[in-house]
């Protein structure tokens, strides 16, 4: 456990080295939010600047299927989208759950084609190959994440595969010519007490979730975070991808603070998936041959 | 985690643990298989049940493997490699690498690998002689924080 804690400190130091402000001072003095279950949570903590402090080890609900019943909302009304849920008999077998895939999101023709065709078992599994899951699937993962934050940035330290994601909140501009990437690049800003993170620049190789819901390079992922009390974050994710979906859609989830002595732990995907890949139990992922068609 | 919260009554903790176990079982029926399809490796048409002894626990990501020595259908002693959940999730439920002692007799039911030569078993249920289920849900005596 000391080793795991050391990893967090090391990560925080590395992050702080790239920032103009003292991130360590923020992350090394967490607010007294490891309150007990059954006792009042208390108000959300704030940074000295007055911004809400999202720091902490958070349990995010495992979301392998972002289109699960009644979870797909219209961002404008926050009411469930009306979708046909028609069975798609010509689709590949479902990766999550049983039964055939359905018209469970507002697909475009392009998006529907990719939803029906997703087949990691036979066509290569990028996640099983331990390649980056992408911003959406990182947040969907079941193992939680540590957030460290100061007034100029926020770092999401995912336990899943020990990945990190860096989000400037100080109007920093990413280089316009950065190559497209698995996780994309994010910027954050505050609207009242809500942090809004917008992520673009995806290479299109990932899926939104384990079920395999598609996205294109045009994806803009909008995640919001509102710490409603010391132990709770209300998180929303909105998918804006006009190539894959005819309209925006969203999920709303509740995160819970993990109480001490729970800590973030190391997670090495390769540890035994390497053997699965070499034995053929998991088919290795390869980049799509036709870039325009697949992304 | 094995968390003790001040001022928190044991009876309530136990209730929460049981509730948590129920929720975990509903949400993660096959363990936390976060990123690869069990359909890729294991054959639903090849169920297997056997009794054997624990040889080793490989506490590794993304799934632990419990090595169980048993006789196969031909009476030959083999070592099955039984896939379990993610080690970090199990740790938070109170399980440890040495929760299951070497030499313990267990019964395993699960699915054989699609690969005929493989002795891997997936979607498995491991129980000890007294019926205790191993490496699934909260460990015996584990008290969930929330």
Question: What does the pLDDT look like over A183-202, one tens digit per residue?
Answer: 999 999 999 999 999 999 99
pLDDT band at A8 (very low <50, low <70, confident <90, very high): very low
**Cβ–Cβ gap A142/B65 under 8 Å:** no
Low-confidence ranges of chain B (pLDDT < 50): 1-34
Size of chain B, expressed as the number of residues it contains: 146
Longest dimension (CA), chain A: 56
Q: Does B14 touch chain A (CB under 8 A)?
A: no
Sign of CA dihedral A240, A246, A248, A252: negative
3-class DSSP state of A56? strand
Cβ atoms of A151 and A170 within 8 Å: the answer is yes
Using the predicted structure, report yes or no on whether residue A282 has a pLDDT greater than 60: yes
H or E element at residue B88: helix B87-92
Nearest CA to CA, how far is B11 from chain A (Å)?
13
CA B25/CA B29 separation, integer angstroms: 5
**Predicted local confidence at residue A98, as pLDDT:** 78
Handedness of CA B4, B20, B63, A268 (dihedral sign): negative
Which residues of chain A have a Cβ shorter than 8 Å from any chain B Cβ? 36-39, 62, 64, 93, 95, 120-121, 125, 127-128, 133, 137, 141-143, 159-160, 210, 256, 258-262, 265, 267-269, 271-273, 276, 279-283
On the question of pLDDT at A3 being above 60, the answer is no
pLDDT at B39: 63
Stretch A144-150: mean pLDDT: 97
- Minimal-distance CA residue of chain A relative to B3: A261
Among the partner-chain residues A95, A121, A268, the one whose CB lies closest to the CB of B61 is: A268
- Taking the whole predicted model, whether its pTM rises above 0.90 is answered as no
> What is the predicted pLDDT for the residue at A276?
83
Chain A residues whose beta carbon lies within 8 Å of the beta carbon of residue B37: 95, 120-121, 125, 128
pLDDT for res B138: 87
| Order of strands across the sheet that contains A163-168 | A163-168, A153-158, A145-149, A56-59, A249-257, A232-240, A220-229, A194-200, A185-191
Residues of B in contact with A274 (CB under 8 A): none
The residue among B95, B83, B96, B94 whose CA lies nearest residue B30 is: B83
pLDDT of residue A106: 98
* Nearest chain A Cα distance for residue B34, angstroms: 7
Question: Do B111 and B46 contact (CB within 8 A), yes or no?
Answer: yes
Among A143, A259, A283, beta carbon nearest to B146: A259
Q: Are B72 and B51 in contact (CB under 8 A)?
A: no
Which residue among B6, B35, B88 sits closest to A265, beta carbon to beta carbon? B88
Residues of B in contact with A142 (CB under 8 A): 28, 32, 34, 86, 89
Q: Which residues contact A267 (CB under 8 A, 6 or more apart)?
A: A143, A159, A160, A161, A162, B61, B62, B86, B88
Query: How many Å separate Cα A184 from the centre of its chain?
Result: 11
Helix/strand/coil (H, E, C) string of A107-172? ECHHHHHHHHHCCHHHHCCCCCCCCCCCHHHHHHCCCCEEEEECCCEEEEEECHHHEEEEEECCCC
A284 to chain B: closest CA residue:
B36
Interchain contact, B62 vs A267, CB within 8 Å: yes
Q: How many CB atoms lie within 10 A of CB B71?
A: 12
Determine the residue of chain A that is closest to B83 in CA distance.
A272
Q: What value, to the nearest 5°, has the Cα angle with vertex B88 and ends A211 and B66?
A: 90
Q: Is residue A199 helix, strand or coil?
A: strand
pLDDT digits 0-9 by tens, B47-87: 999 999 999 999 999 999 999 999 988 999 999 999 999 99
Q: How many H helices and E strands in chain A?
A: 7, 9
Q: Report whether B96 contacts B119 (CB < 8 A).
A: no
Q: Which residues of A touch B61 (CB under 8 A)?
A: 267-269, 271-273
């Amino acid at each position: 456990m000391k080793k795991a804690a050391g990893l967090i400190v090391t990560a925080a130091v590395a992050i702080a080295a790239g920032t103009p402000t003292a991130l360590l001072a923020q992350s090394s003095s967490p607010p007294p939010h490891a309150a007990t279950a059954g006792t009042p949570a208390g108000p959300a903590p704030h940074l000295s600047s007055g911004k809400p402090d999202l720091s902490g080890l958070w349990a995010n609900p495992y979301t392998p299927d972002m289109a699960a019943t009644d979870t797909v909302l219209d961002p404008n009304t926050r009411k469930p989208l009306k979708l046909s849920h028609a069975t798609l008999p010509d689709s590949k077998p479902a990766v999550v759950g049983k039964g055939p895939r359905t018209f469970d999101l507002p697909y475009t023709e392009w998006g529907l084609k990719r939803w029906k065709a997703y087949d990691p078992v036979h066509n290569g599994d990028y996640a099983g190959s331990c390649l980056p899951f992408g911003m959406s699937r990182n947040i969907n993962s079941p193992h939680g994440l540590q957030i460290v934050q100061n007034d100029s940035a926020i770092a999401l330290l995912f336990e899943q595969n020990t990945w990190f994601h860096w989000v400037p909140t100080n109007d920093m501009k990413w280089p316009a010519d950065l190559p497209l990437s698995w996780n994309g690049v994010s910027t954050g800003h505050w609207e009242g007490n809500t942090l809004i993170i917008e992520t673009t620049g995806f290479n299109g190789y990932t899926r939104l979730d384990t079920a395999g819901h598609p996205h294109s390079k045009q994806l803009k992922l909008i995640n919001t975070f509102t710490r409603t009390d010391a132990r709770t974050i209300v998180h929303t994710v909105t998918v804006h991808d006009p190539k894959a979906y005819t309209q925006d859609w969203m999920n709303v989830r509740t995160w819970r603070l993990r109480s001490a002595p729970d800590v973030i732990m190391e997670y090495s995907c390769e540890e035994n998936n390497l053997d699965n890949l070499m034995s053929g139990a998991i088919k290795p992922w390869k980049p799509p041959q036709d870039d325009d068609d697949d992304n | 985690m094995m968390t003790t919260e001040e001022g928190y009554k044991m009876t309530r903790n136990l209730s929460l643990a049981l509730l948590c176990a129920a929720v975990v079982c509903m949400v993660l029926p096959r363990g936390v298989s976060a990123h690869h399809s069990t359909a890729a490796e294991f054959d639903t048409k090849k169920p297997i049940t056997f009794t054997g002894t624990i040889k080793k626990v490989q506490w590794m990501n993304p799934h632990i493997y419990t090595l169980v020595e048993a006789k196969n259908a031909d009476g030959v002693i083999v070592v099955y490699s039984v896939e379990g959940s993610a080690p970090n999730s199990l740790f938070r439920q109170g399980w440890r690498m040495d929760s299951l002692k070497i030499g313990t007799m267990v019964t395993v039911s699960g699915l054989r690998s699609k690969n005929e030569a493989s002795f891997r078993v997936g979607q498995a249920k491991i129980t000890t002689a007294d019926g205790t289920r191993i490496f699934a849900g909260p460990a015996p005596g584990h008290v969930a924080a929330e």
